[in-house]
Structure 1
């Protein structure tokens, strides 16, 4: 009787992500394979300047080298799973990441300005009461290449739909960017580097709910991009009610961190202030906001509240919003009321939650 041989399925080995290799690591790999070192720079340019997603696109490399790369590495790009266009032209995209998770990004057109609003995490752990993403569990951080891919995808939408280049990037989508510090900074490096997309860091804004130690770290790293604080109340009691992060990062701690950031970078701070009816919209609230913001050069963006099903906040009247803004302007604050875009497709500030 012949012995029975069991066929044990072999699990396919996942190849390393080529986009997680540094230029030095690529150079070393090529040297061990007997290839010229300068080819690493060419590969890097294909990845980060030309946004290649396959080795076959690298037309100035020999077929032998392309085959070698495909044997050892792979690409794991995000894909545009779905898009929706608002009546005002705003385009929301659902991006499918490696592993199947979905995140959302938005193109906000205001010609000639084209702004990409991108995500930094799948879900969020900070549980802000007015934000749809805050009611989702955090699944994982978004890596640097996926941050880069969101920008490239939205840039292509701007060119295809409006025949205009992308002008600005805001990290105001899903997640808390400073809780994904290394990937966000690496992603911005590849967006701004001459070896990448060579965009100006002054056109990039990172928005945080307020994590003091990382705000200080941004200062120590002397970042060139803009910093925005999602403030929404300049009163600890009120901010605690809507933003649990304030329990461990109260206003006094944040003020010190922001002053440190400004001292290190000389970058003006942006404060984001969503107005909620009969909560943070009085002239007393405006005075508290003025007092909090007066310690460094800044601007204040007053944002209309966009309703979500999970919360019962309401938007104040236009008259109340305008009076609040006028009070700040009279005090010498650079304050602007930002009207929301994309509300009809749940693409406005605070509404991103993968609802399709």
Structure 2
């Protein structure tokens, strides 16, 4: 591992940069395309897997570059078939990702940071320190490893990806965008951008940047209150990114991309579960074409929030629908293994250690 950190991670280089490095090393430049295909189409994690390269070239590559591949540390399967995995990174840091199987889709939920800096009061990851951003290849690797689980466990390929794991994707903008490029490119995993959803807690200037970059993936805003006072209380990020600023950014994003927004909303008991809260949300929904996903809350030991009663949630959803807003009530998956939304956090305990 120590040597790997001194070598250049070859997946941090573009095709042209690999070609230049090969020529400087006395190798043939056209080999760069073959190497690139091994890295991004075939997801090679070892130079020895590159069977159409000569042994001497492979040894040359090993002396100059590393492939800082993500490793599965431990996996747990929920009673509802959800699989949560912890992944070890090249520097020893650990993240989590989730495979969510359903009848019509296989969804990978991936992380974008080690920990998180946003301190949302209801989210386990928010109580962790943010140690660093993930590199693009580390996000890509999660997709590859979770896709492999989908094939091996359920005989079905991955159909969807959500950037809803640990961290705030828009605070790791460059690497998030590079990872989407590798996942969607014809010389990468060739997945349709519309099958990818990036979820944000709401950073207005970065939402506008998504619009400027005319992204083709879906955008989801983790809203949970359409009232600044309440949102400030549970999501400190709102103090610098008010609902007015977010509405303006979302309008800008939609004008540039013509892509509808998904608002994620947890209905907390005795906090944001009244008809007036639903009215405020409905008013906020008028800013842009959108739909609302009402998400079941998954309790964590560090917070006292409780999910609203089922009839209260249904009344809330019914009101939104009466206002012409497409509204889905999502049931939690993987709650029994702490794999559900808002529950991802690395717990350093004996049961989390790598099994021999």
The TM-score range, normalised by the shorter chain, is: over 0.9
Q: How many angstroms apart in 2 are the aligned matches of 1:275 and 1:347? A: 19
1:317 and 2:309 equivalent? yes
Q: Which runs of 5+ in 2 are unaligned?
A: none
Counterpart residue number, 1:170: 162
Q: How many angstroms apart in 2 are the aligned matches of 1:287 and 1:112? A: 33
Query: Does the 8 Å contact 2:222/2:263 carry over to 1?
Result: yes
Change (3 A) 1:34 1:320: same
Change (3 A) 1:208 1:116: same
Change (3 A) 1:313 1:222: same
1:25 pairs, out of 13, 17, 26, with 17
Count of residues in correspondence between the two structures? 347
1:265 pairs, out of 257, 266, 288, with 257
Counterpart residue number, 1:3: none
- Which residues in structure 2 correspond to 1:116-265 (within 5 Å)? 116-265=108-257
Counterpart residue number, 1:56: 48
Q: How many angstroms apart in 2 are the aligned matches of 1:171 and 1:54? A: 26
Q: How many angstroms apart in 2 are the aligned matches of 1:79 and 1:31? A: 31
Counterpart residue number, 1:287: 279
Q: How many angstroms apart in 2 are the aligned matches of 1:116 and 1:131? A: 19
Q: How many angstroms apart in 2 are the aligned matches of 1:248 and 1:74? A: 40
Name the larger-Rg structure: 1
Query: Does the 8 Å contact 1:112/1:164 carry over to 2?
Result: no
| TM-fit CA distance, 1:11 | 8.4
Does the residue aligned with 1:223 lie in a helix, a strand or coil? coil
Does the residue aligned with 1:127 lie in a helix, a strand or coil? coil
Q: How many angstroms apart in 2 are the aligned matches of 1:337 and 1:146? A: 32
| TM-fit CA distance, 1:165 | 0.3
Greater mean alpha carbon deviation, residues 55-64 or residues 158-167: 55-64
Query: Does the 8 Å contact 1:232/1:274 carry over to 2?
Result: yes
Q: How many angstroms apart in 2 are the aligned matches of 1:145 and 1:233? A: 34
Counterpart residue number, 2:327: 335
- Which residues in structure 2 correspond to 1:86-101 (within 5 Å)? 86-101=78-93
Change (3 A) 1:258 1:55: same
Query: Does the 8 Å contact 2:4/2:68 carry over to 1?
Result: no
Query: Does the 8 Å contact 2:108/2:162 carry over to 1?
Result: yes
Counterpart residue number, 1:6: none
Change (3 A) 1:28 1:12: closer
Does the residue aligned with 1:325 lie in a helix, a strand or coil? helix
- Which residues in structure 2 correspond to 1:31-50 (within 5 Å)? 31-50=23-42
Does the residue aligned with 2:311 lie in a helix, a strand or coil? helix
| TM-fit CA distance, 1:12 | 8.8
Greater mean alpha carbon deviation, residues 60-69 or residues 175-184: 60-69
